[in-house]
Each structure stands twice: as structure tokens, then as C-alpha cells.
Structure 1
């Protein structure tokens, strides 16, 4: 059994008490004070914009019958909305341990709400001169957390921007990787003189990201030396031959030695990767889902697939590593993926490495000192009972060597939904995605960091985008910088809760051994812990799933009963044998007393331990203990009902 610190070993963190509205709304006066103060400030701003202008709405308007009727309708609809929202899932409560949601950080929530009346549109600085800079700063804040270069004076400084969520960020990663890989091929096809280019299309498509950026810089320098007419001619010639102009089919037809590139990802990857390859026209068949070991990417299987691609002359666009899988919270060996790429490069096959850290990205705060340097594994481990393993520390330490990362501030960043993020290691690559729209973007192509930042809409998937979301993320990161002494306090609380939950789950397996098989199918890497259950005496996976469906019904909201009737909110997922592999699936199935071939998905409980008040030492309450006590009662009742039936 894994030993853990008792809750008393961890002093109460008053900083976290100031971070949230609170499970009971304890900080309502603080939030109300902030909102009223800054609403008044916004009104004063409006009044002082041009104080010589007369009020457009007269003082008597509020007494007009039509005005009063409209106000009454508005109040009625808002009251109805408020009443309806009371049926929402209570993400704020420590009784909620289901999906990837929890209470919202007060600084981010207040900043988001403060910025809404200004309605900035972060497509360009013309429509958001303040918040567009905040969004670019958020990219730099995240880059520092990940180990990328974040000094804008450096030519290789990282660049990041917000997205609607992790799906859009993953699509952006695919877009950028394809633009980069195809650019040297187009440059070669254009016949540009005086620039050293690969001898054939295969080698051009397999340049490293650093080589591609160097080549593009040489191309820009060459263009700058031409007369204006010649410059326009060569620019148009290269643009016409790019994959963005020809489309995938036209590009491949022009280069018969190339094939549609593959995307390699673990079988635990989010379904957004399937969406992405379809959206880009690569096709679902080009997404290779690789096997795992213990729900973590099997690097040996990756090596084998890369060798097959090399022998078959099949290009690889990207390999994806997952930093906190959506279903299980497991973390892939990012360092192993980078090492596999180095070995593949020696064989002539290169590709981008992207990390989908939509879930686990903010855990990187635990590994960063205030100066941005990487903390030693032993220093991180001092705060926990068994986190992080050396393999986990190596995975986080390797993030700076990847090409791009997806992070979701609206998950472990505790910010409102609609705040995903994409971070690219080198800002110079982003120009390959640039779109032109004279009514929004003015002047020539962006060549420096500041200009590129002001024209954010040129590079992102979205057009109009919320500046209020950027303000919320930026302010949250300023109040809680992304290192272990600041934001890491929140990440630390969640991992400690997961460790306590894991230890209590092990005790639970003993508590219910007389009537239930209960197993933790694999050791957790982050703050997601899964639990598999099967009634004693049952050998049928179908019957085990039916039991779990009845249990899960008690752990979710039901419009037919009051929200307060649900004692705890949880979620389920499935253990799929095709994810686990035959040996691992057989091990787990047999440990649960299930017989026959392990060839169908098994429903299990999935717990997200985000709430910092799962152990409420202020009131001497452990919601973790209460949850497992509830599980004992609930499963006993279900089994008794089944026996009676």
C-alpha cells in the first residue's frame, strides 16, 4: 500500500481561500465589492469619454410606460434564467468530482466580467488595443511555464494565443505543422536561385523545424534584396506553389514522390485529433493510433511504426504525446517521443512533436522555479507522498524540446470556458499561417514579434474572438504567476487530494471485499483517479457494466429530482481492451473476477480531484472519506435491490 501524508500534515493555505467564491459563497462580499467598484469605473469611463456630449437617454425615460414594460420583461426573463440555472451541475462544490470542471478563480472571473462591457474583439489591435496585448502576454506566460523561450528580444521566442478550447488548439497545431513541412517543397518547386535547398521533395519534406525556419529566414533575406517588381514576382510564384494555394490534392499531384502524411498519436488521444485530420483533408485513415503501456504511449511501438514509415517512404507530419489523457489523466513519456524523433532523423524521417496538454498543462507549474528554471525531481517530491515519479519529471522536463503545446486554461487553470490555448515554440513559424484582409490588417507582412502580435487574427483559426477571455486569463496569471510558489499552490492541492483519494480507494477495496471486487486499474499520474467495480460472484462483463450504469445514475444530475438529492457527482468512462492491450486487459478483468475473453469495454468510475476543499480542515470534514462512505452505502443498496428482485 502506498503511504500518504495525513491531511493534518499540510497546513491550511489561506491564499487558496482568497482564490475562489467558495463552496458556500463565502467570498460573496469580495466579489460583489469588486464588480460594483469596476462597474462604476466603467460608467465613469463612458461619461468622461467626451463629457461635452449630452446624454442620449433622457432622465424621464425610466418613467415611460414602454420603458417600464421592457424593464419588466427583462427582469422576468432574467429571473426565469436564474431559476433555470439552479439546475446546473454544481461544479463549485467539493461534492463534485466528475468531469474536468471546478470553481472559478476569482481574479480571472472578475477580470473576465470587468472586460465584458468593453466587448473587445481580439482579431486585431484596431478592435482590441488593450486585450490583444494581454492575449500575447498569456502566450508568453504559458511559454515560460512550459520551458520555451519567452524573451521577445530573442529571435526564437515562443508565441501563443487563446482558442475556444483544446480542439481548436490541436487543429492549429496540425495546420502549422503542415504549412511548415510543405513550405520547403514549394520553395524548391519555384526554382528560387541562390538558396541552398534539398535535392528532392522527400528530403525537403523531412527538414527539421529549425531547418525550415532557417530556410524561410534565408528566403525573406533573399526577397528583401530584390527590386520591388522582382520581389512581387518571386513572392507570388512561391505562394502559388504552396499547399495552402494548391490544396492537398493539387500539391501531391505536383509532387508525385510524396504521399499524404501520417499523424501518430497514442490510442488514448482525444477525439479532436480525428476531427483535425478530417478538417485538414488528410483523412481519418492517416491517423495512426498507437498502443500504450499502462495507458501511456508505448515508445517501442512508436519506434516500430516510424521504422515502417521510413521503409515504406511514408511521410509523418506529427507525433502527438498526451500530457494528461482526458479519460484517465495519464501522462505520456514526452522525453521518449523526442528521443525517438532524434533516432528517426538519423534515418531521414522527421516530423513535428506536439503535446496535447489540454488537461495536464498547468501541472507544469509544480516543476518551475520563479525564475523559470526546472526544479529537481527531489524538490518537487518533497511536497508529496509519491508524486512525481522520475518518469513523470522527465516528461515535464522535456516540454521545452517540443514544437508546440495545447493547454486549456478553462480546465486546470480554473477559468471560464472558452479559454483554450495554443503555444508554438518559435514565433517565426506562425507567419506561414498568415491570412491577408486589408480592412482588418494594415501594412506589409509581419516580420517582428510586436507586429505579429498586433495582427493576431491573421494566424488563428477563429476570426472574432473574446478579449474578455484574454483579460481573465492574463489577470489570473498575474495574480498567481505560473510557478510552484504561486499557481503551483493550487496544483499542489489537487495532486495531494488525488494522493489522499488514491490511498482511501485502496482502503475501500478492503472495506467492500466481501461483496465487491474493487480495483484501481492503473496508478494515476495526475489528479484523475479511476476505480473499477464488479459484484462478487459475477463473471459477466455485461452484468458488471449494467451494475455500473445503475451506480452512475446515482452520481449524476436528474431533471426529475432535486439537485440536492444527489450526494456526490461523479463520471464514468470505459476501459477498452484495444487501448489496454490484451495482456493488460486480461490482468484487469481477472482481478475483478470477470471471465472469458477481455474483448469488450468495461464501465468504470472516473474521478477528477480539482476542488481544493475536498479535505476541509477548517471544519474537520473529508469529502473524500464521505464519498467512499457513500459508495459503500450506495453499492450495498444496489446489490440488496438486485438480490430482492
Structure 2
């Protein structure tokens, strides 16, 4: 623990355009330099080809009229965009967005004119390879093996966002779980297959991957005719071919598997269950303690599933909930997976780290090894708690992870990512399986995924987003000495915000009850507020809505009219549990009975995402955290006075 936090690393000052546009010259130089470079590339592609557009064309009336229309439309767009959310400003502490890292922004702008389509290397020979390398970069950050020379090397790819990455996790877990059953049904000889469908459906993820690998090796030794025969037989038995209803009708001993996810999990899990045809009813929400998975309750659910012979497809843990930034006990979920696999109930573990994934950079040395908790904690007041450290240390033992570079990676939308621990499972997602791969050399690894569209949910997708992520990770490697210094800056801001909120609570004593419901696990802090003398949840929510009206975007008013921007979320008893609900309502002097009677069974709270690296501006001696807290205190007093 340090008495005075380190000053902002100076390299960060070259990393962003800046709240005031301070690095406009740098960005302009980069854009102009590489736009000219692109033009030179066009002119030198086949220099013997003459220009198709003559210089005289620029004087033609039609040309001039088109240019005028284009300029007018662009000016109108530029004017309209001035109403956009000012994510770049330290005054914006609302949703999960901030300023953009210049390496990624410039790389994306640079790549756009080339217009690569990452569905296949035929349309994107450069950026497809970069996308596979981005997956390896993220794998190393998470603690997965990222050495293509190793058979169990990880694999990752980009998506439009965390939602699609979560769908990919469901697809892969289902394909891996059902494949051993298909092998049994096809009657493949000479493989050590489980003795019955239940055992086949409940292999551990690693045992199932080993069976996929054994199948691939078996095919490699078969004659071409045998290979075609057995591939067709196994394909005909797979769940992807037969469909959910036919597969489970053919294997009546088995039930449609459940997915276990915390009640704070993102709604994409509900959508994913519907899209895959598993059904929303098969998504079972796990109770929580302190907005983190209740480990004992999870164990009780797993014990019940084992007793009832109810298969489990996936257990989801969240690393940075969307609402509160809390981190689930990933280590306990991994331990439960291993414990129940030994008892014959196999399932995968996926971590939805769309928000918090890049926090893992703080825990990585440049050589990929894990830092000790003491080394990490030396830079902060409280971060990381022992529970948070243990959770992040367990990431490398999970089966797959979702990460969003367009959140804490500070990159343009849409850039999500899906990463799985062992790339050998991905072969089950291939739309066509024309080749058998059994060489683990790095070039073979890269060549395997040259047609990415076979493996990923999307078809056409931009290679420019890939270039932005790859260049950013190259300029700022994903370890504590490089990229990690950025989230470190924002975590210190979150700790300062938490401490300053306590002073606001003291200053408003007798005026309003102010509390932070949960100590922050990450750089996201929530505040609950209730005017003194009020005991009804509905009235507290109405007051918070009026307060949030001063903090939200209003399309009818210039954004400059707003001093600060924040967001809201809710606390729900079904997520909190009775004990935590009563604790928070007691701190706010609210009647628990009024929560259930009046306002949709939830309590509104302010939510602050503290990811701007300039919240503590040492250069100008400004703390936007102090300014915001002063503003918040003033608004609370003013609103109460106006409604007295």
C-alpha cells in the first residue's frame, strides 16, 4: 500500500487524442501519412495502367455538383454528431466508454480504405492472420497457452461485441458436450469411447477434447474411402446435423442441458439460449452474495443436477458485471467443475469478462507469468482483494472467455472477442471439414484458420477492427508494465472516488443517506441515495430519477449544458438476497416492505464508470472526481430544497 499514488505515466499522454484534442497534430500526421501511403500503393499496383479519372473531370459541372452534395451531406453529419455523447471527456462517467487509444484508432483508419473482409484470407490475406494473432495475444493475457507449437494452444477471434462472443461460447460448449455421444452412435471402431450416453455426455471438457483429438488422429490414419465413410456417419449423428429435438429423442436417457449463470449475468445469455434452441427455461440463475456468485448455492444446484441426472452444459462466471463491476469467484467455479467432473457430471466454465477482461493485464509479467498479490497491491489502497486476486489467477484454468476490446481496451466499436483454452475443440464448429489437421507447428496453426468464416458466427466482417486491436496490443503489450498502466490509473481513480463518496455521505448527514452498496472490485462504483425522512422506495426512486435527469444525455439540449454525465442501474432483491437487501435498505433508512409493494421490486442507484485516465489531472491540478462529488452534493441539496 502506498501513501501517495504514482503520477500518470507520461506515455499515456501520447496514447489518446485527449480531452481537449491536444494530440490533434499527431493524429493528423498519422492519418495524412498513411492515406498518402495508401494512394502510393494504388498507383504502384500496376503503374502501366493509366488513370481512369482524368484531371479535367474535376472541372466538369456534374463532378462539381456531386462534390458539393457530398460536402453538404458531410457537413450536416458533422454538425449532427456534435450532439453525440462526449465519451472523451473526464466529465463523462456514465456507461462503459471513454476516449480511444490512438494506435487502434489510427490503425483502423489506415486499414479502412483497403476494406479487408475477414471471412477468409482470400478477401483479407493480412488481417485474417492478424485476427488469429490477436486471439493469441488475448490468450496470453488470460493465462492460456498462446504457443502454437503446443497441441493445447488457445484460439480466439474477434466478434461484433460480447453478446456474439457469449453465443460462440454456447455453440462450442454444446458441440463439445454432444460430440462423444455422436461417436458412440456412429459406432466408430478402435476408439476408447465411454460406456454409455450419460458418461459420454458428461466428459470433462479436456477429456472431450482429447477424444476429438483421438478422432482426428484416427481419421488421419484411415484410407480416403474410410475417412469419407466415417466422417459422413459421425456427421449424421451430430447434434448440429440432427437438431436439438431429434438428438435428444434418439438419446432418451439424456435431458437438454442447463446453463448456470449468476442473476447479474448479461441478458445475452437468455438470448443465446433461445437462438440455439435450448430454451430460456434451461437457463438457471444462481443466487448471489454481495453481487457475486453464492458458492454454496451453486454447489447445491450442481448436487441437485447430479442427483436428478440433469446435465449441465456451461457454468458462467462474470468478471466485472455490467451493473456493478463485481467479480465472481472464478476459482470456486473452476474447482466445482473439476470436483463434479470426478463425480460424473461434466460441464464447461465460461467467464464473461466483456467488461473486466483487460484488468488481467495488471496481473501479468512481460514473460506471461502471474504477479503476486503483494506486487499488484503495492500500487493501490485496496485493490485487489484476496478474492479478486484468486478469481483472476484462475482465468487460465477456465474453458473459454469473452473480452471486449471496445470497453476496457479503449478501441472503437464493435470489437468483442471470444477465446477458448484449447483450439482443438474449435474444429467442431467448422462448417466444412475437408481436411484433417494433425501438425501443431505454428504455420499449420495459422493455416488452419485461414477461412475464419467456417468457425465464427459471422460471415463478412471488417478487418479494420482487427488491425486496430492488433496494433494496440503491439504498441501496448498486455502486461502490467505496458497496457496495465492504463487500467491501473483508472483503478486509482475509482479508489479515490470511493473515498470521496464517503466524504459526500458525511457532508449530507441529516440531508440524505448516501452509501456505496458494494466496495468496488474494478473501476466501476455505484452510489445509493435516499432523502432523510423518506422511508418509501418509490419516493427514493423518484428522487434518483430527477437527479439522473441532470446527468443523462438530453437530445433536445446541447451537451455543453451538462456539467457531468452518469448512468443508473437497479438493485433487485432476487439478485441481492434477503440479507444484503435488508443491509442496504437499512443503511438508506428505507422500509423493506415498500420495496416489494411499490416500485417494480427494485431500487434505483447511480452507476459510475471510471475509465477515463484523466479523471485525476495532475497537469492542471484538477480532480474531476472532486468536481463531480461537489456537483452531486449541490444537486442533491438543490433538488431537495426545490421539492420541500
> What's the TM-score once normalised by structure 2's chain length?
0.97
For residues 225 and 483 of structure 1, the distance between their equivalents in structure 2, rounded to whole angstroms, comes to 42
For residues 52 and 189 of structure 1, the distance between their equivalents in structure 2, rounded to whole angstroms, comes to 62
For residues 5 and 591 of structure 1, the distance between their equivalents in structure 2, rounded to whole angstroms, comes to 30
Q: Is the 8 A contact 1:107 1:476 kept in 2?
A: yes
Shift in Å, 1:210: 1.4
Which structure 2 residue ranges, 5 or more long, are not aligned? 439-443
2:441 corresponds to: none
SS in 2 for 1:613: coil
1:424 corresponds to: 420
For residues 586 and 75 of structure 1, the distance between their equivalents in structure 2, rounded to whole angstroms, comes to 59
1:245 corresponds to: 241
Q: Map 1:476-515; keep pairs closer than 5 Å.
A: 476-515=472-511
Q: Against the structure 1 CA distance between its residues 596 and 430, is the aligned structure 2 distance closer, same or farther, given a 3 Å change threshold?
A: closer
Spell out, residue by residue over 1:222-257, the C-alpha distance to the aligned partner (whole angstroms, 9 max, x if none).
222322222211110000000000000010011000
Spell out, residue by residue over 1:140-174, the C-alpha distance to the aligned partner (whole angstroms, 9 max, x if none).
00000000000000010000000000000000000
Match of 1:98 among 94, 101, 104: 94
For residues 497 and 475 of structure 2, the distance between their equivalents in structure 1, rounded to whole angstroms, comes to 29
Match of 2:545 among 546, 549, 553: 549
Spell out, residue by residue over 1:381-422, the C-alpha distance to the aligned partner (whole angstroms, 9 max, x if none).
001011001111110100000000000000000000010000
Shift in Å, 1:340: 1.2
Match of 1:43 among 39, 51, 60: 39
Alignment partner of 1:595 is 2:594: no
1:622 corresponds to: 623
For residues 229 and 358 of structure 1, the distance between their equivalents in structure 2, rounded to whole angstroms, comes to 45
Q: Is the 8 A contact 1:4 1:503 kept in 2?
A: no
Alignment partner of 1:632 is 2:633: yes
Shift in Å, 1:445: 5.0
Q: Is the 8 A contact 1:4 1:500 kept in 2?
A: no
Q: Is the 8 A contact 1:4 1:385 kept in 2?
A: yes
SS in 2 for 1:264: strand
Match of 2:223 among 224, 227, 233: 227
Alignment partner of 1:270 is 2:266: yes
Match of 2:349 among 353, 358, 363: 353
Match of 1:404 among 395, 400, 412: 400
For residues 5 and 164 of structure 1, the distance between their equivalents in structure 2, rounded to whole angstroms, comes to 42
Shift in Å, 1:563: 1.0
1:575 corresponds to: 571
For residues 354 and 564 of structure 2, the distance between their equivalents in structure 1, rounded to whole angstroms, comes to 25
Alignment partner of 1:213 is 2:209: yes
Match of 1:314 among 286, 291, 310: 310
SS in 2 for 1:175: helix
Q: Is the 8 A contact 1:431 1:446 kept in 2?
A: no
Match of 2:435 among 423, 428, 444: 444
SS in 2 for 1:60: helix
For residues 221 and 613 of structure 2, the distance between their equivalents in structure 1, rounded to whole angstroms, comes to 59
Q: Is the 8 A contact 2:325 2:523 kept in 1?
A: yes
For residues 486 and 621 of structure 1, the distance between their equivalents in structure 2, rounded to whole angstroms, comes to 25
Match of 2:557 among 545, 561, 567: 561
2:191 corresponds to: 195
For residues 172 and 364 of structure 1, the distance between their equivalents in structure 2, rounded to whole angstroms, comes to 22
Spell out, residue by residue over 1:47-79, the C-alpha distance to the aligned partner (whole angstroms, 9 max, x if none).
000000000001101100000000000000000
Spell out, residue by residue over 1:249-269, the C-alpha distance to the aligned partner (whole angstroms, 9 max, x if none).
010011000011000011010
Q: Is the 8 A contact 1:4 1:499 kept in 2?
A: no
Q: How many residues align?
A: 634
For residues 551 and 617 of structure 1, the distance between their equivalents in structure 2, rounded to whole angstroms, comes to 29
Alignment partner of 1:141 is 2:127: no
For residues 490 and 174 of structure 1, the distance between their equivalents in structure 2, rounded to whole angstroms, comes to 32
Give 4+ residue runs of structure 1 displaced > 6 Å after superposition. Answer: none
Q: Is the 8 A contact 2:582 2:592 kept in 1?
A: no
Shift in Å, 1:344: 1.1
For residues 46 and 587 of structure 1, the distance between their equivalents in structure 2, rounded to whole angstroms, comes to 66
1:440 corresponds to: none
SS in 2 for 1:232: helix
SS in 2 for 1:454: coil
For residues 596 and 421 of structure 1, the distance between their equivalents in structure 2, rounded to whole angstroms, comes to 41
Q: Map 1:69-88; keep pairs closer than 5 Å.
A: 69-88=65-84
Q: Is the 8 A contact 2:2 2:378 kept in 1?
A: no
Q: Is the 8 A contact 1:614 1:624 kept in 2?
A: yes
Q: Map 1:112-127; keep pairs closer than 5 Å.
A: 112-127=108-123
